[in-house]
A and B are shown apart, each in its own frame.
Chain A
Amino acid sequence: MTSQDNFQVPQRSLRQRLFTSMTDVVNLRLWDHRIARFIAGIFGVFLFVLVFTVPLDFWGQVIFAAVSFGCALLLRKVPGRLPTLTMIVFSLTASLRYIYWRITETTGFEGFVDTFFGTGLVLAELYALTVLLLGYFQTAWPLERKPLPMPANNTVWPTVDVLIPTYNEPLEVVRQTVYTAMGLDWPGDKLKVFVLDDGRREEFRLFCEEVGVGYITRDNNRHAKAGNINAALELTHGDLVAIFDCDHVPTRSFLQVCMGWFLKDEKLAMLQTPHFFFSPDPFEKNLQTFRAIPNEGELFYGLVQDGNDLWNATFFCGSCALIRREPLMAIGGMATETVTEDAHTALKLNRLGWNTAYLAIPQAAGLATESLAGHVGQRIRWARGMAQICRIDNPLLGKGLKFGQRLCYLNAMLHFFYGAPRLIFMTAPLAYLFFGAQVFQATALMIAAFALPHLLHAGITNSRMQGRFRHSFWNEVYESVLAWYILRPTITAFINPRLGKFNVTAKGGVIDKSYFDWNIARPYVILVLLSLIGIGVGFWRVAVGDFQREQYTTLAINLIWTTYNIVMLSAAIAVASESRQVRKTPRVIASLRASVSLADGRVLACRTEDFSQTGLGLALNSDVKVELGEKLYVSIYRDQDEASFPCEVVFRRGNKLGVHFEELTTIQQVALAQMTFARADLWAQNWGRGERDTPLKALGGVLRIGARGFGIFFTNAWGMLRTTQRPSMPRLTRFKRRPGTTLKTGD
């Protein structure tokens, strides 16, 4: 004990001394000079290049890697941004050492097979490294912008037009958005709501007339949603426009929360808020991970956009955003050249010198795409659009952008080219197992000594940076599902950006029967089959003595790699197993203050368990005697406000009650929307508060899902061999062929 105590005292003071002297160095007046900073920067870069290029033998590299990784593991426990940045530097060192070694030492390919597969893998690795580096750049310092309060004097508040474009969505979906938009907390004479109906439906016109909101149509559907908005811009005059997809329901506080920055920053053109979904996306639905594991979109809205904001490169996402009219008109309205008009519009605004901003507070919520086919269709559109922008308005070229903005946009686009690299990673070990291709000209131990630090550092650094919004290994799951599908559209669009169609994403549907979507799963099924055969071939070749003993390590690496791929592909198969979704309008879990008025005149205080557009789940404090089919009134409260709705009891068990709303008047429907979907804090309170990532736990979860998918694969394998054309399955194809849902964009 004593020796420890003696030891600790000087150590602590050393740390303090170190800290003070570091602070002194940082605070030197010298750094006010540009040249000093520049020279220091050059010196730093020189040292850094030295670190990742210096050659080391096997043990040298092992010791270097172990020390680096040990430091990173220690830093992981220290909160704050400086440790994160330091971890990034460690990760960069490991990755750049790896790729430098990979290119200079391991690419002496001999023969066609080695060269073909080896070069392919090196290119895929270069892509992955580039995206890793850009990702670090993009998300190293999320801005975490806070809302600015509005001035008390509301005569200076600007006028706002709320635009709700719709094409083929049912009225019951759009209605909710209109009701909540009407209830936005803003002076009545400064707020106008417009439904932009490209479907030109009489039912919609009547509805808008009845509730008293604007209804705008045009005589063509050119440029789909972008064209629809542009046509409305000609007819409206508000200082700003708020744009909501017709299935995104704003909370009443949306304008109050978002507008402050527009008053403070006169050059602010667009402010985006997260797209938040109150129903599970197909991943969450089919894997039962809703609210337990961050979904595919959360990384983007939780971290990437916030990181973009630092570089003034937030981009518009088509909905839940506020845009100043003047700059929007200055760039000619919404961009119409690509199928991702939103991102391109923001790029154009940034090019003209306007600012864009991001506020990570969910101020709207919507329905997620219900089927995997629909989800894939939507991602295909994004991927295609990004590839188009990359070709026709490349952010690296052209005028008006700062360097940081160029890199952020570049990463947003490059991100969607993961199709080919992902497929290469999925098949690379097979090249060895089948053909004996030497994709690495190095010993297995050397590969491990260089590649493992690269992968492990990237893993723990990303886990720390993204932990609240993306769990480890889930990126692989998401990419594995989509890789095959975005491969072709990105390549096609990159070669000829004019080829492209706009798929409207269908939402709010019913999947009346669980089924397995063979059509979507086919590529994963084929890859799993190939991998399984590959493993078989591997063992067979050991058995017949094809491999020398010294090749066993290499063989083991490739077998482990293949197994990992099978896990990811099986997870993808599990996603394609569509589970039943019976509710047309999804329920939102929320505990709101409520009361039930019984027929005998008693009124019972209770709370909601969930709500939907059509009914409520209620938890009373004790058992209650009501009959199924009984009519009663249910009130929902918000602070002192109360709204009461006629209901019918459809479910009763113990103290739990399920009620359906009876026919509601317009006033009641507006009140219902205000009491439920439009509540200001409903979505924000849980945002980013999910369980943080722990890599091993995440791996366990992915393994379990992989095992389930593997089971599904075997139990359904016979079905796939027998038929590939089950009539109810290919939703994506049906979706594309239906003439009403497909719009040409260039016309």
Chain B
Amino acid sequence: MKVLAIASAKGGVGKTTVTANLATALSHAGHPVLVADLDPQNALRLHFGLEPSAIDGISRATLAGTPWRASCARSERGVAVLPYGVVNEDDRDLFESHLAAHPHWLRDHLAHLGMVRHAIVLIDTPPGPSVYLRQALAAADMALLVTLPDAASFATLPMMETLVDSYTAGSDDYRGHLHLINQADASRQLSADVAQVMRGQFGERFVGAVHRDQAVAEALAYDQSVFDYSIDSQAAADLMEVAKTVHARLSAGTQAP
């Protein structure tokens, strides 16, 4: 089992969308994939066409002490989905203090799911520092940092790297982080420049860019994956390419600094 945490310093970079599409692309490529939503927004399930009124999820299962398998839904796209679940404010505080008290909560639960060896787990996290990100990184083999090709996002990258390093310090399994640009647009000079700088700066750890493409948003609106909605779209092509690269990095065991 390989675990990849998806993280970003800022909100609104399309992290959840990337997680969902990447999971679908990996699943299309024939890998068994599980996505776990550690973001209280509980939005990841919507990308997989799960019932919006369903309230089950990791948070409720943890508080109730029931097994995770019961909250796990298998989407039509072949990806197993663990939603965050719907909880009230008090329960969320309780849940979060539980996580703070048990740093290996996620890792242990994932291990107990009994996944096949070559399964891939993607974990969506809320932006910035949080107890969720800490849990995700403690369980992860690698992290994927999603950035927009603009000045504000680029400026937060060092902060994010420091944060990831401090969260993963002492973790034996963790093998470094990867970088992804979301919503790239080469017709804008800034976007092209940021992509070039990141490629130069991160080398192998830069796994590619996903184009800003209306097809991605439209696919969600039509309740389809971008691959079903518009296989010709550049974003679909990018995501498949990124999925291939991410899988290669995850399985190669490359020691990233």
- Residues of chain A whose beta carbon lies under 8 Å from any beta carbon of chain B: 595, 597-598, 600-606, 620-622, 633, 635, 640, 642-644, 646, 667
Contacts and interface: CB of A to CB of B under 8 A. Distances in A.
A644 B233 contact: no
B99 to A, nearest CB: 38
Given A602-B233, A605-B237, 6 more contacts: A598-B214, A603-B211, A604-B230, A605-B233, A606-B232, A621-B231
Nearest to A604: B232
5 contacts: A598-B214, A601-B212, A602-B218, A603-B235, A605-B234
B57 interface: no
Contacts of A633: 186-187
Contacts of A640: 199, 208
B195 A603 contact: no
A268 B158 CA distance: 50
B256 interface: no
Contact of B232 (A622, A642, A643, A646): A622
Nearest to B189: A667
A667 B199 CA distance: 19
Contacts of B9: none
A603 B233 contact: yes
A671 to B, nearest CB: 9
A54 to B, nearest CB: 72
Main secondary structure on B side of the interface with A: mixed
- The 10 residue pairs across chains A and B that have the minimum distance between CB atoms: A601-B214, A644-B186, A603-B234, A644-B187, A603-B213, A605-B237, A595-B234, A633-B187, A621-B232, A602-B214
B26 interface: no
A601 B215 CA distance: 8
A595 B214 contact: no
B216 to A, nearest CB: 9
Contacts, number: 60
B195 A642 contact: yes
A16 B233 CA distance: 62
**Best-surrounded residue of B186, B187, B192, B199 (most CB of chain A within 10 A):** B186
A598 B235 CA distance: 13
A620 B232 contact: yes
Interface string B215-237: 10010000000000011111111
Nearest to A671: B192
A633 B236 CA distance: 18
B186 A642 contact: yes
Given A640-B199, A642-B195, A603 B212 contact: yes
A598 to B, nearest CB: 8
Contacts of A598: 214
Interface in B153-187: 184-187
Contacts of B234: 595, 597, 603-605, 635
Contacts of A642: 184, 186, 192, 195, 209
The A interface, classified by DSSP as helix, strand, loop or mixed, is strand
B187 A597 contact: yes
Given A602-B230, A603-B213, A603-B215, A646 B187 contact: yes
A600 B195 contact: no
Nearest to B211: A603
B184 to A, nearest CB: 8
Contacts of A667: 189
Given A603-B213, A603-B215, A643-B192, A635 B186 contact: yes
Contact of B215 (A602, A644, A646): A602
Contacts of B186: 633, 635, 642-644
Nearest to B215: A602
A564 to B, nearest CB: 55
A344 B189 CA distance: 48
Contacts of B215: 602-603
A622 B215 CA distance: 15
Contact of A604 (B187, B218, B233): B233
A644 B213 contact: no
Contact of B192 (A601, A622, A644): A644
A661 to B, nearest CB: 13
A641 to B, nearest CB: 8
A543 to B, nearest CB: 73
Contacts of B195: 642
The interface centre, meaning the residue of A603, A644, A667 with most chain B CB atoms within 10 A of its CB, is A603
A595 B211 contact: yes
B225 to A, nearest CB: 16
Contacts of B230: 602, 604
A601 B213 contact: yes
B214 A605 contact: no
Nearest to B214: A601
Nearest to A594: B234
Nearest to B238: A605
A605 B199 contact: no
Contacts of B187: 597, 633, 635, 644, 646
A604 B230 CA distance: 9
Nearest to A642: B186
B211 to A, nearest CB: 5
B249 to A, nearest CB: 15
A646 B185 CA distance: 12
A629 B81 CA distance: 46
Contacts of A601: 212-214
Nearest to A635: B186
A418 B185 CA distance: 59
A602 B215 CA distance: 5
Contacts of A597: 185, 187, 211, 234
Interface centre among B213, B234, B235, B237 (most CB of A within 10 A): B234
A225 B212 CA distance: 50
B13 to A, nearest CB: 18
Nearest to B196: A641
Contacts of A646: 187
A597 B213 CA distance: 8
A635 B209 CA distance: 14
Contacts of A644: 185-187, 192
A600 B211 contact: no
A600 B185 CA distance: 14
Nearest to A601: B214
Contacts of A620: 232
Interface in B56-93: none
Contacts of B233: 602-605
Contact of B236 (A600, A605, A622): A605
B117 to A, nearest CB: 31
Contacts of A600: 214
Nearest to B241: A640
A601 B208 CA distance: 20
Interface in B229-257: 230-237
B236 to A, nearest CB: 7
Nearest to A620: B232
A602 B213 contact: yes
A413 B160 CA distance: 71
A183 to B, nearest CB: 14
A205 B189 CA distance: 27
Nearest to B199: A640
B192 A605 contact: no
Contacts of A606: 232
Contacts of B189: 667
A622 B236 CA distance: 15
Residue in A598, A601, A621, A642 whose Cβ sees the most chain B Cβ within 10 Å = A642
A600 B215 CA distance: 9
